[in-house]
Structure 1
Amino acid sequence: MGTLLRITLVVLAIVVGLCVHKYQELTSSAPIPQLNDAEYWGPGSAEKYKENTTIKDFDISAKKELIEDLKAQLSRPLVLTEPLEGVGFQYGFNTNYLKEVVAYWRDTYLPKWGEREAFLKQFPHFETQIQGLRVHFIHVKPKSIEGKKVVPLLLIHGWPGSVREFYRLIPLLTKPNPKSEYVFEVIAPSLPGYGWSQGASKVNFGPAQMSLVLRNLMLRLGQEKFLIQGGDWGAILGANIVTLSPQNVLGYHSNFCFIIDHPMIPLHKLLRNWFPSFFIKEENRIFLKPLYKEFILNLEESGYMHIQASKPDTIGTTLSQNPVGLAAYILEKFSTWTNPAYKQLENGGLTKRFTLDELLDIVMIYYTTNSITTSQRLYSEGFTIAHFALNLDATHINVPTGCARFIHDFLPLTDFELGLRFKNIVHSTYHKEGGHFAAMEVPETLYSDFVEFVAKVFTKPQSKQ
């Protein structure tokens, strides 16, 4: 063997060794961040704060004056810019259809507000004080448990949703089903700053800190070990709870499993894009898009995120006490996030999967609680250098994990990519119906997927934490 060839092979071996070492370094688990789980987030000084641990009934009724004022606002002349000819929702909410939504809101929905409010009150609502914040939550216990195992479940919503997303799902979870030996005690909190829960008064209340508040809520209710299910922010918060407090979590299930901040994600996506047959079954490849289409979709659909991550109070101010603008801003997401193809339709396909009553319930929760600004601040706090420095996405999760993908949701990750963080994926599914708001759109499918996951959690050996 010639000297040059020997040198080349030695250099190549060194390079390969360095690459392997670097890969192992980048894919090893980051340490669990040590956060203060009693940090005060309320107004004023923490020195004067004494936590009231009482759990109280909570009345979600809106003030009559607010409803009367809303009627007056919706009765004013509606001055809107006409949409471009032949356009659906490609430029945002189509103003021709917005006129119909406003008319329905004013003339049909609000006259029966008492009925809608009674519907929202069908589940028991409570509040308690945690770390300086008044936290609202729905708590539903199963009425009949004969022959069933009751398991506590933390159900976490996202933006621009609310606990209203779960009104079809909760009855399925809390009613015994002959196909499952489990029934669930459901705790569904309004995220701090969303709906009926108080927003933080201090900066740096990000997804990690919020997840500890939710964990502390479960401990307040006497639930030392529980399951988690969530989508959107609920997926992130749920994964954070598992990361920071794995000893409290029996299993984590999400309809939006993803990793946003891991240095190896781009490489794993490239490998999956080049050699898909190694990483996903052929029948499920329709869930994935070529990388250039992923990039385009991200550009098209993430504008709101950049605004809310940088100037949440500015956009919040334009939407607060502006019912028409608020409805357009929120409901547009229920169009394209349910199915991107709906943007071709003048009505955005909003009533293909939901009723206007359901959608306006969600708008009303934001409007009557004036919580749009505080809800959007989570984006600002979640995209800071301080938050990324926690390196949560690089901290391995060994708790049993279930990931359900829905065909019209955003850019799902395969188990190959998710394996960078989730080391114990016991349940992985692909559903050819449904989008981002699965709990609200296809609750039966989500329920069936969840109980299949739960059965695996309690039959497979548990990994050591």
Structure 2
Amino acid sequence: MEYTNIITMGFTGRVFFVVLLLMVAVGYKQYQNLTVLAPPPTVKELDQYWGPGDGKLYKEDPSIKPFKIAYTTGVIEKLRTKLNDTPNLVPPLEGVAFEYGFNSNHLKEIVTYWKTEYLDKWNTREKYLNQFPHFKTQIQGLDIHFIHVKPKVPAGTKVLPLLLLHGWPGSVREFYEIIPKLTSKTDDKDFVFEVVVPSLPGYGWSQAAAKQGMSTSRMALIMKRLMDRVGHQKFYVQGGDWGSLIGSQIAAFFPDNVIGVHLNMCAVHTPLAILKTIIASFRPSLFVEEKYVDLYFPALPKLKELVIESGYMHLQATKPDTVGTALVGNPVGLAAYILEKFSTWTNPAYRELADGGLLKYFTLDSLLDNIMIYYLTDTITTSQRLYYETFTIREMAAGYDRVPRKVPSACAKFKYELAQTVDWALRDSFVNLVQSNHFDDGGHFAAMQLPAVLYKDVVEFVKKTV
């Protein structure tokens, strides 16, 4: 009996040892799969004719033409007429501020200001929007609009090209306060920036794609070619929201052209990065300075906030044209839809304020400038299509997050950003992360909300790379 038991135990031990080896081997293989880096896509993979009709008949016009924002009195008065015909807005529930969405009582106040004081001085606002040089050029079948500001500095001053990329529901208007800081010679830096600020395809005055597939990765190639077009084969990139993802992909796909990339709203969604985030959630202080833990954890409340604020994303990633039809040509609806994001994406606590806290950092004129860009260009629908095109199986299966960003990278982490990623996970993609700063204030629209803070962070980063 004892002999039989010894044999049985020996056999069981050997089986257990074999199973353990198999588990280790499978685990190691899975770890390899999680950590493997991907090569960048070729230009051929990203290249496509996006204009209407047959691309075989297309001959690109590489010229750069000056552009001026100009709308007739008739267009503005038609808008005023629509604003005067505001529908009977349903009153908010008693004691409710922005918890159910945009407070209709405050919306009435904004509409009143818009149709009187703002439109009365439209010539002044139009002049303000035209204060920087605007241009258009044709790339891959699309007319691409961009601002291009060359600094006026003494000879011998180092000038660094910088591509600034906006997101949704923003526009080039987000950068108007930071552009003068970047392009001026100041005591805090011995260089200045030459800035290029494009409207993304389908946004503002940039033509929308007529074909399916205009995702962030495809926009990355267009933006890189824009920089080639204006004479810069090497340049810096800064972006937030979609601009962050596009900027990140430019850095990944064209490392020989990007000197450095600075982002607000940095993210990596590889399986390994997700696993690392889960691990970090158990003992956050091991991965993040104690005073910044609340920017990342606890995870469940953060996830709840993200769910509350991301309903629009599901709509735009599935039925962008339906939502767009409800908003295009509808100034009141458009204002409510967009301005609500400038409230709660700046600080989720502003849901508890009857005015949404909109004027704590922004002026009503600046907010309406941004609305006017969407309204006058009828681009709300085409801007929303970027969600549909980027969240496709094809795009997500491409694994662009696993292409290493080898260029020097920086991440500015503002306290009330929609989502944050710990540096431990970020470094899976941003393999040369040289700066990661946390801020005690600020939200999603950092360039417009805290231009001085973002400016200083960009300068601090660039000093490490020049």
Q: What's 2:3 paired with?
A: none
| 1:66 matches 2:103 | no
| 1-structure distance, mates of 2:88, 2:301 | 36
Match of 1:332 among 311, 317, 340: 340
Q: What's 1:461 paired with?
A: none
Shift of 1:437: 0.5
Q: Does structure 2 conserve the Cα–Cα contact (< 8 Å) formed by 1:147 and 1:181?
A: no
| 2-structure distance, mates of 1:73, 1:164 | 24
| 1-structure distance, mates of 2:281, 2:238 | 29
Shift of 1:127: 0.5
For residues 166 and 241 of structure 1, do their structure 2 counterparts lie closer, same or farther at Cα, with a shift above 3 Å needed?
same
Q: What's 1:243 paired with?
A: 252
Match of 1:192 among 187, 194, 201: 201
| 1-structure distance, mates of 2:362, 2:41 | 40
Match of 1:159 among 139, 164, 168: 168
Q: Does structure 2 conserve the Cα–Cα contact (< 8 Å) formed by 1:426 and 1:457?
A: no
| 1-structure distance, mates of 2:303, 2:438 | 22
The 5 Å alignment of 1:88-107 reads 88-107=97-116
| 1:52 matches 2:76 | no
**2:410 match: secondary structure:** strand
Match of 2:182 among 173, 190, 215: 173
Match of 1:370 among 370, 378, 391: 378
| 1:343 matches 2:351 | yes
Q: Does structure 1 conserve the Cα–Cα contact (< 8 Å) formed by 2:174 and 2:447?
A: yes
Shift of 1:13: 4.2
**2:303 match: secondary structure:** helix
| 1:255 matches 2:264 | yes
Q: What's 2:218 paired with?
A: 209
| 2-structure distance, mates of 1:401, 1:295 | 26
| 2-structure distance, mates of 1:113, 1:213 | 32
| 1-structure distance, mates of 2:388, 2:72 | 30
Q: Which runs of 5+ in 2 are unaligned?
A: 1-5
**1:222 match: secondary structure:** coil
Using the aligned pairs only, state the percent identity.
51
| 1:123 matches 2:132 | yes
What is the TM-score when the length of structure 1 is the normalising length?
A: 0.96
Q: Per-residue displacement from partner, 1:20-70 (whole Å, max 9, x unpaired)? A: 331122111012223435421001111221111110100111232211100
| 1:443 matches 2:438 | no
Match of 1:300 among 305, 308, 313: 308
| 1-structure distance, mates of 2:154, 2:258 | 22
Q: Does structure 1 conserve the Cα–Cα contact (< 8 Å) formed by 2:47 and 2:218?
A: no
Q: What's 1:407 paired with?
A: 415
Q: What's 2:389 paired with?
A: 381
What is the TM-score when the length of structure 2 is the normalising length?
A: 0.95
Q: What's 2:29 paired with?
A: 21
Q: Does structure 2 conserve the Cα–Cα contact (< 8 Å) formed by 1:404 and 1:429?
A: yes
Q: What's 2:153 paired with?
A: 144
1:345 alignment partner AA: L
| 2-structure distance, mates of 1:317, 1:74 | 18
Shift of 1:446: 0.4
| 2-structure distance, mates of 1:171, 1:100 | 32
Q: What's 2:276 paired with?
A: 268
Which segment is superposed worse, 208-217 or 388-397?
A: 388-397
Shift of 1:279: 1.0
Q: Does structure 1 conserve the Cα–Cα contact (< 8 Å) formed by 2:251 and 2:407?
A: yes
| 2-structure distance, mates of 1:294, 1:10 | 42
Q: Does structure 1 conserve the Cα–Cα contact (< 8 Å) formed by 2:171 and 2:203?
A: yes
Q: Does structure 2 conserve the Cα–Cα contact (< 8 Å) formed by 1:182 and 1:451?
A: no
Shift of 1:5: 4.8
Shift of 1:73: 0.7
Q: What's 2:317 paired with?
A: 309
Q: What's 2:231 paired with?
A: 222
| 2-structure distance, mates of 1:329, 1:415 | 33
**1:457 match: secondary structure:** coil
| 2-structure distance, mates of 1:107, 1:412 | 40
Q: Per-residue displacement from partner, 1:283-323 (whole Å, max 9, x unpaired)? A: 21121132211221121011101100101110001000000
| 2-structure distance, mates of 1:411, 1:371 | 26
Shift of 1:266: 2.7
Shift of 1:7: 4.7
2:310 alignment partner AA: S
Shift of 1:76: 1.6
**2:259 match: secondary structure:** strand
Count of residue pairs brought into register by the alignment: 457
Q: Which runs of 5+ in 1 are unaligned?
A: 459-465
Q: Does structure 1 conserve the Cα–Cα contact (< 8 Å) formed by 2:265 and 2:419?
A: no
Shift of 1:258: 0.6
Q: Does structure 2 conserve the Cα–Cα contact (< 8 Å) formed by 1:151 and 1:185?
A: yes
| 1:423 matches 2:431 | yes
Q: What's 1:462 paired with?
A: none
| 1-structure distance, mates of 2:210, 2:88 | 36
